[in-house]
Structure 1
Amino acid sequence: MKTWERALVTPDMTLREALGCIDRAGSQMALVVDERRRLLGTLSDGDARRGLLGGLSLADKVSAAMHLNPTVANARESRHAILATMRQRGLHQIPVLDDEGIVVGMEVVDDFLTARERENWVVIMAGGLGTRLAQLTRDTPKPMLRVGSRPLLETIVMGYAAQGFRRFYFAVNYKAEQIEQHFGDGRAFGVEVRYLHEEQRLGTAGPLSLLPERPSHPIVVTNADLLTKEDFGEMVDGHMASGADATMAVRDYEMQVPFGVVRERDGYIEAIDEKPVQRYTVSAGIYVLAPHVLDLVPRDTQFDMPALFEASARQGLRARCHRIEGYWLDIGRLPDYERANLEFDEVFR
């Protein structure tokens, strides 16, 4: 909501004035704040109506009718988390506060339903052999394996398209004809699809050298075996706001050692950690790259994303992390594929 500041009112304003603010803001609620813009409460159309029915007049103060304990969101929450709260509570809009309780915005559910169109290209690395799923990928490329009611790659494209991304490049190699036959030029899916044909497998970054022209905006690069509910637009916006040259989506990964780990010194036991959990930050297989970073990708050479980020570091470029907190699944092994099918209807319905 771009006009949320028009919805700010003070507790000493009259109900008539507050309702005027709600009308001008085009919202269904006013945010009642103090002189520092700390949230004191909210006043909805319903709050005002109930107050008037209870004997208040339009000349009475907002403080007499406002709701003192509204549901709020923290500015550090992802938009997906905020939307989940709104759905759970049946809210149309929600104030967004910083850690001091100061209003910094207001999210409206309609803004989630109408994504603005994005000029950023999406490059999907769809040329791999899927060797870890050999029994399934003998006749079908992994991106075309059906997960739930449709091919995996179709769900990925639909996720980006729903967030306003329209131009896609598919890097293809293994059984590319199946992918091209299904997607064509993308028109049937409301997007534009072009193909980067790998004559030899070029890794997870090498196909970027096949782009026919240098983009004008940062591009999103993703593997074709990921199911996630991430807000890709938020990732792009964070990349641009930070001034970084490259952004890598990362997530937490835990491994539990199934034994007691012995800490010893000079042959004597100091302590035993029983089945400790090791925690790591790992790549989530999604990236945002500034156009000039593509100059570091060699032509006709197998080149992976870790090598590109290392090359960027050697050039003094800045790379940042974007942490994924929500649903994410890498379909690399048969148990992952089975899990994806079990969870698909609940997560992507």
Structure 2
Amino acid sequence: MNLSEQQWRQAILSKDSTIREAIENLDRVSIKIVLVVNKLGVLEGTVSDGDIRRALLKGLDLHSPLSDVMHRNALVVSPDMTRELVIQLMTRNQIYQIPVVDEKHHVIGLHLLDEINTPFIRPNLMVIMAGGMGTRLLPYTENCPKPLLKVAGKPMLEIIIERAKLQGFNNFILAIHYLGYMIEDYFGNGENLGVKIDYLREDFPLGTAGALGLVNPLPKNPFIVTNGDVITDIRYDELLDFHKIQSATVSMAVRTYEWQNPFGVVQTKGIEIKGFEEKPVVRSLINAGIYVFNPEALSVLVPHEHCDMPLLFERLKTKNERIIAYPIHEPWMDVGRPDDLS
């Protein structure tokens, strides 16, 4: 929640308070809502400017208790509801404030539509791995680095940066190698996109993780790493928050992948047939190519030494570092076929 605890707690009044006290509160706190609770701190209802105006028109006076004017059974949300769902709920119901309550209906927060629609500026860095050769997309990548190929009319690297910017990320590092000068020419220092962009220049291919060994100075906070050919609706900010809550060293976004065997599968023991399964579906978790790293995780890398992500993770496991998975269900595409560019 973008609204501070100090702010929303100022908007709490008991149900024995008066309309006058509610008016004074609305003027003082300036969030256009009063949260009415009982002695146990349980939310009983809410009061807005409109509720007070309607009450005065009905003949109530400034000394009338809030219990006579409050909106009972107010719409509320739980703390684990995603930002998108909260915005949808508020927009659909045309409300601008919505209380956050726990399982016992105690008030623990407040969403304001204006605040939640404004991205919280993140100081965290985002590193985008954009140095690959793009061999799967030949001949399109003969004279154009893969991250500059257009998806739905826009370079995929620009799509990633713009989406991250909408979530409050403004500091980017692009790891480049193959035709990297074209990426630098296109983005420059990021000024045209309203962000700051620096570059890691690989003298030779360093693998899917090796370029991270060139990050200098090390970030002070956890940072996002994403492949430059992954287009997704994932919320990078929620992934980052999840990583922090879990006190992980590295978090990997993973996605369920389903593959259906085109044939009937026969289970045997020796020459005896024990079972038969018609075209079974195999489900597994795959690496989505998006991560959160704590700065200390990079200590297992050697600058200018080739390293792929599986090896990096193996080194961290050897050091008993906490490595966790973040399951995603959002639309996700690893751009690797010409059809993906349409």
Shift of 1:276: 4.5
Amino acid at match of 2:76: V
Structure 1 match to 2:145: 141
Amino acid at match of 1:13: S
Which among 337, 340, 343 is matched to residue 341 of structure 2? 337
Deviations 1:54-103 (A, max 9, x none): 33323222232222333322211222332233333333222222334332
Shift of 1:142: 1.7
Q: CA RMSD in A?
A: 2.5
Which among 172, 175, 180 is matched to residue 171 of structure 1? 175
Native 8 Å contact 2:150 2:341 kept in 1: no
Shift of 1:258: 4.6
Task: Indicate whether 1:242 and 2:242 are aligned.
Answer: no
Structure 2 match to 1:201: 205
Q: Whole-Å Cα distance in 1 between the matches of residues 30 and 269 of structure 2? A: 69
Q: Which has the larger displacement, 227-236 or 140-149?
A: 227-236
Change (3 A) 1:297 1:4: same
Shift of 1:290: 1.1
Structure 2 match to 1:102: 106
Normalising by structure 2, what TM-score? 0.88
Change (3 A) 1:263 1:312: same
Native 8 Å contact 1:205 1:304 kept in 2: yes
Structure 2 match to 1:31: 35
Which among 293, 299, 303 is matched to residue 295 of structure 1? 299
Aligned 1:119-158 pairs, distance under 5 A:
119-158=123-162
Task: Indicate whether 1:311 and 2:315 are aligned.
Answer: yes
Task: Indicate whether 1:5 and 2:5 are aligned.
Answer: no
Which among 87, 94, 100 is matched to residue 91 of structure 2? 87
Which among 26, 30, 37 is matched to residue 22 of structure 1? 26
Change (3 A) 1:289 1:187: same
Q: Which has the larger displacement, 164-173 or 23-32?
A: 23-32
Native 8 Å contact 1:32 1:40 kept in 2: yes
Amino acid at match of 1:254: E
Change (3 A) 1:273 1:59: farther
Change (3 A) 1:263 1:184: same
Task: Indicate whether 1:76 and 2:77 are aligned.
Answer: no
Shift of 1:22: 3.1
Structure 1 match to 2:49: 45
Q: Give aligned pairs, total.
A: 337
Shift of 1:277: 4.0
What runs of 5+ residues in structure 1 fail to find an aligned partner? 339-349
Shift of 1:262: 5.4
Shift of 1:172: 0.7
Aligned 1:178-257 pairs, distance under 5 A:
178-257=182-261
Q: Whole-Å Cα distance in 2 between the matches of residues 329 and 125 of structure 1? A: 16
Shift of 1:296: 0.8
Shift of 1:10: 3.0
Q: Whole-Å Cα distance in 2 between the matches of residues 252 and 98 of structure 1? A: 30
Change (3 A) 1:288 1:6: same
Change (3 A) 1:226 1:40: farther
Normalising by structure 1, what TM-score? 0.86
What runs of 5+ residues in structure 2 fail to find an aligned partner? none
Change (3 A) 1:306 1:139: same
Task: Indicate whether 1:58 and 2:58 are aligned.
Answer: no
Native 8 Å contact 1:80 1:230 kept in 2: no
Structure 2 match to 1:117: 121
Secondary structure class of the residue paired with 2:243: helix
Change (3 A) 1:87 1:52: same
Q: Percent identity?
A: 40
Which among 141, 161, 165 is matched to residue 161 of structure 1? 165
